[in-house]
Amino acid sequence: MKAKVNGLERELADGATVATVLALLDAPSRGVAVALDGEVVPRAAWETTFVPDGAAVEVLTAVQGG
């Protein structure tokens, strides 16, 4: 199946979850927020929230600076 991840189309395995997408991106374990089709996905739901075919996933990471 396909999904747009941060604006780029990616091929994902059927049954992929938000956690799967984060692992593919090698995202840090802290300072990350995820939206699935414009809705924020709580961290507690990442393992159980499936990414449907054609979905838009936005992964945002906090950046420290000044």
The pLDDT value recorded for residue 44 is: 97
CB-based contact 22:34 (threshold 8 Å): yes
CATH no., domain 2-61: 3.10.20.30
**pLDDT by residue (tens digit) across 13-62?**
999 999 999 999 999 889 999 999 999 999 999 999 999 999 999 999 98
Sign of CA dihedral 41, 11, 16, 32: negative
